Structure 1
Amino acid sequence: MEKLRVGIIGLGWFGEIHADTIVGIPNLELAALCTRTPERLEAMGQKYGVEKLYRDYHAMLADPEIDAVSVCTMWDQHTEPAIAALEAGKHVFLEKPIASTVAGAQKITAASKGSKGILYIGHVVRFNPRYRMAKQAIDEGRIGQIVALSSRRNIPAAWTPTILEKIGPIVGDAIHDSDIMMWITGDTVATAYAQTVSVRGLKHPDIGQTMYRFKGGATATLETVWCMPEKTPFDIDERMSIIGTEGIIHIQDTFPNLAIVDGNKLHSPDTTYWPLFNGVRGGALREEFEYFARTATSGAEVTIGTPEDATAALAATLAAEESARTGNVVQL
């Protein structure tokens, strides 16, 4: 079995989750780490037993023994390392959002067309089995024409003070549901309208409420609340309803699918996306990396997490954020 030697660029909390996932997949090898913070770099190198440690991603990309990179920098720092990696002929797993601007996304996409490596954009919700089964049922024609959709993706306030200084809930989380809605409808967003609420006075608002009209006529509402109370016993309140002319699909990932009571508190940890088992991540993120590895080693075309789909989701959420700022319906 061919093994891909992977380097990670960006070692924040999600870069570490990527590392936890990579080390558990037989045909991936965590071969290098890169971050600008020397203490973090040393600590992560010791944790994973990785000797190739870089503070400059260009030096990592110059290493011929690195086959692929996972880009986990902040969303406004995706464009340069992604393009540099593609130009170096590396396979690229780029976390969502693809970029912070549509122009940046288009530059990354253009770079991928001439690269020897593949470009995959990490829209992990497509690997959640509940959404995959919903997509399958829709493709089989079981609910007829989709006419309305709604989603909820809410997380506790404790998660978000640092994140909200960097990205807002619409682009940060509603982008998942935007991507899924376009995927299952096979349609694109025509107009976006949104309102936001700032609860804690951070750089970005805590709450985003979004409405879309799709080109085919369907409507959608998307709720993203990043300030659920401290005592909320679950990590995420995630739901989607899809209403068709002949049926309905309802997806729910909480309330709770696992309940653990310790002391005087009930916990409902993630069991879907990146659950941790004996130091190794499983769930949808593992399946996502396995897909990336299979596609890269086989030379197959990327059909999930394409830059075109990721750019469409980014454009929709940026339009929603523009609507929230201006109070106007934004045409795409």
Structure 2
Amino acid sequence: MSQAKAVRWGVIGLGWFGEVHADNLAEMPDIELAALCTRRPDRLNEVADRLNVSKRYTDYQELLVDPDIDVVSITTHIYDHREIAIDALRSGKHVLLEKPMAPTLADCEQILEAVAQSDGLFMVGHICRFDPRVTLAKQAIEEGRIGNIISMHARRNLSKSIGETVLDDISALMGDGIHDADLMLWFSQANVSTVYAQEVHPGKNKFPDAGWSIARLDSGAVAVVESVWHLPESTPFTIDARMEIIGTEGALYINCGEAGLAIHDAQGVKLPDTMYWPRPLGNYFGVLKEELRYFANCVRKGEPPQRITPAESAAAVAWMEAATESARTGAVITF
């Protein structure tokens, strides 16, 4: 498409993060938030009225046949990802699918087939790959500054008050551990050989609140993913996210939990998000905007995204799916 033309974008799914997508897109130059879709008419009108979006759909199939839409964000429940993504690709739309790609590797493989047969571009929203702290770490690894990676450990922990809002939809390992699984595979450029995991389920929601997974990579490195959505409600962290990467010649330490801002008030101490989708002075800023901008530029240029490929997204799902199976059975899963 012409690089001078605004990319016309629709959002399918208006839960909390779908609304964040829509809000960011509405503020971005050279992007037109052209359509919104959710099955709930009241919610649809609430968000569309606020953002002044005229095209409103309660059936995503009607949005997909709208010739005025170039790109769709799919921000629905993970168990809807496969069907909607495949339909969107078959319709010829460019697709930004929120992570995880799908609940199972088998689902991912069906999406990969649709990607191969579609003229539309496709990317899964692994937002951490757009975090400058992460990309600088990747650059240091590629420059050989820590030698060959031998060990990685990550934690990505949330308060139980946040966990309780999503643990009926997805487990902590699949929901957040997948971020670090993806980054570890990206950093190491290796594949998983074996996986062992344990999950803990102290809460009352459908899925486990906490999980640890250890993987042996075919490079020989060991990789440990920790995801616990059961920190006390008084925790100052919006998210306690850190990673240690040790190599034969050095080490890297990424700290995405310290926000650079601590607010002390009558409610205690809080470390707000200052990087991913903060809204200083009423306008969004941050890593999500960078991810959206990157995909929009790929669409304008007609170039498949290289920052994260569909196969890499599927590999992260495969690891977390194996971790879930290992935690259920107690067995080491071999790839």
- Deviation (angstroms), 1:306: 1.4
Residue from 59, 76, 90 that aligns with 1:73: 76
Using the TM superposition, give the Cα deviation of residue 256 of structure 1 relative to its aligned residue in structure 2, in angstroms.
4.5
Preserved contact between residue 4 and residue 67 of structure 1 (Cα < 8 Å):
yes
**Which whole-Å deviations, capped at 9, do the CAs of 1:152-203 have from their partners, x for residues lacking one?**
1001111121311111011111100000000010001111111111111321
**Counterpart among 23, 27, 30 of residue 27 in structure 1:** 30
From the superposition, tell whether residues 212 and 326 of structure 1 become closer, same or farther in structure 2 (CA, over 3 Å): same
Deviates more, 1:104-113 or 1:63-72: 104-113
Q: 1:17-96 residue pairs with structure 2 within 5 A?
A: 17-96=20-99
The answer on 1:320 being equivalent to 2:332 is: no
Identify the residue that residue 153 of structure 1 maps to in structure 2. Answer: 156
Q: Which residue of 2 aligns with 1:212?
A: 215
Task: Report the AA paired with residue 145 of structure 1.
Answer: N
Q: Does the CA contact (< 8 Å) of 1:211 and 1:222 recur in 2?
A: yes
**One-letter code aligned to 2:8:** R
- Correspondences of 1:150-229 after superposition (within 5 Å): 150-229=153-232
What SS does structure 1 have at the residue aligned with 2:313? helix
Identical-residue share of aligned pairs (%): 47
**Counterpart-to-counterpart distance in 2, 1:277 and 1:299:** 33
- Counterpart position of 1:130: 133
For the residue of structure 2 that corresponds to 1:297, the secondary structure is helix
Task: Report the 3-state secondary structure (helix = DSSP H, G, I; strand = E; otherwise coil) of the residue aligned with 2:141.
Answer: helix
Q: CA contact under 8 A between 1:239 and 1:251: conserved in structure 2?
A: yes
Structure 1: tracts of 5 or more residues without a match: none
Match of residue 146, structure 2, among 136, 143, 147: 143
**Partners of 2:259 and 2:273 within 8 A in 1:** no
- 5+ long unaligned stretches in structure 2: none
**How far did 1:103 drift?**
1.4
Question: Aligned partners of 1:55, 1:133: CA distance in 2, in Å?
Answer: 41
Q: Is the 8 A contact 2:101 2:313 kept in 1?
A: yes
| Cα pair distance change 1:83/1:296, threshold 3 Å | same
Range that drifts further, 260-269 or 29-38: 260-269
Identify if the C-alpha distance between structure 1 residues 110 and 278 changes in structure 2 by more than 3 Å, giving closer, same or farther: farther
Cα distance change on mapping 1:256 and 1:89 into 2, 3 Å? closer
Quote the offset at 1:325 in angstroms: 0.2
Quick check: 2:122–2:304 contact (8 Å CA) kept in 1?
Answer: no
Q: Distance in 1 between matches of 2:306 and 2:92?
A: 20
Give the counterpart letter for 1:65 in structure 2. Answer: D
Distance, in Å, in 1 between the alignment partners of 2:6 and 2:120 is 15
Contact 1:32 1:60 in 2 (8 A): yes
Contact 2:169–2:207 (CA under 8 A) maintained in structure 1: yes
Pair 1:11-2:14 in alignment: yes
Contact 1:149–1:241, Cα closer than 8 Å, also in 2:
yes
**Aligned residue runs from structure 1 range 266-277, under 5 A:** 266-277=269-280
The answer to whether the 8 A contact 1:20-1:280 is kept is no
**Greater CA drift, 301-310 or 254-263:** 254-263
Aligned residue pairs, count: 332
- CA drift of 1:2 comes to 2.1
The secondary structure found in structure 1 opposite 2:19 is: helix
* One-letter amino acid of the counterpart of residue 18, structure 2: G
**Aligned runs of 1:243-322 on 2, under 5 Å?**
243-322=246-325
Following superposition, the deviation at residue 117 of structure 1 comes to 1.4
The 2-side partners of 1:40 and 1:143 are apart by 49
Give the C-alpha shift of residue 210 in structure 1.
0.9
Distance in 2 between residues matched to 1:136 and 1:114, nearest whole Å: 33
Q: Distance in 2 between matches of 1:54 and 1:149?
A: 44
TM-score (normalizing by structure 1): 0.98
Distance 1:36 1:325 in 2: 34
**1:108 counterpart residue number:** 111
